[in-house]
């Protein structure tokens, strides 16, 4: 169950989490903002998408949001690339899957708590009656917590499998 001991051998967990944060943001922005059009970044912050001016502001805010999620993916790729060029070890696929899920889950939890609950910038599904918004927001948090927990579980199993594959004692 011992993972690789040298830092250059260890799977770059931060890379997977950054990828997961970025993918979580892409999913939110592409699916919820653009395809389903359930909300935009500022639709509950006094800028409903009911005028061209408000839609323009929301589109700009959505674009800045997408740019930040893109930066997470680029940072994750840079870390993974740098680490992969140093060590030629076998990493369990569960490490990447687990860290992606942890990052995606962290995205949902942080974005959900900050944007939906603390700041009230928008809510997950603003196409349903306002009284139902809280349930969608809570479901989003539960989904994030489930991904984080499942990712942690996969990551732990991946660390053990990677250690065994690279000659570490079981």
Q: Structure pTM?
A: 0.86
Total residues belonging to the chain: 170
Q: CA–CA separation, 65 vs 98, rounded Å?
A: 24
Query: Would you place residue 165 in the very low, low, confident or very high pLDDT band (cuts 50, 70, 90)?
Result: low
Classify the phi-psi angles of 167: left when phi > 0, otherwise alpha if psi is within -120 to 50, otherwise beta. Answer: left
pLDDT band at 168 (very low <50, low <70, confident <90, very high): low
pLDDT value at 90 more than 80:
no
Going from the C-alpha of 75 to that of each of 28, 29, 72, 97, the distances in angstroms are 19, 19, 5, 17
Average pLDDT over residues 71-92: 84
Phi, psi of 79 (to 5 degrees): -65, -45
Q: What percent of the chain has pLDDT over 90?
A: 78
For 27-45, what is the mean pLDDT?
A: 95
């Amino acid at each position: 169950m011992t993972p690789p001991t040298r830092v250059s051998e260890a799977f770059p967990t931060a890379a997977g989490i950054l990828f997961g944060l970025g993918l979580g943001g892409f999913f939110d922005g592409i699916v919820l903002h653009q395809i389903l059009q359930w909300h935009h970044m500022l639709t509950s912050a006094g800028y409903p998408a009911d005028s061209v001016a408000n839609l323009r502001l929301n589109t700009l805010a959505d674009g800045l949001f997408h740019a930040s999620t893109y930066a997470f993916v680029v940072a994750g790729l840079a870390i993974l690339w740098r680490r992969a060029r140093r060590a030629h070890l076998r990493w369990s696929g569960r490490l990447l899957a687990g860290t992606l899920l942890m990052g995606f889950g962290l995205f949902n939890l942080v974005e959900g708590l900050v944007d939906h609950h603390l700041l009230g910038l928008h809510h997950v599904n603003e196409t349903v009656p306002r009284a139902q918004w809280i349930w969608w927001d809570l479901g989003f948090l539960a989904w994030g917590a489930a991904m984080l927990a499942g990712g942690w579980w996969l990551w732990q199993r991946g660390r053990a499998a990677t250690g065994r594959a690279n000659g570490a004692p079981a």
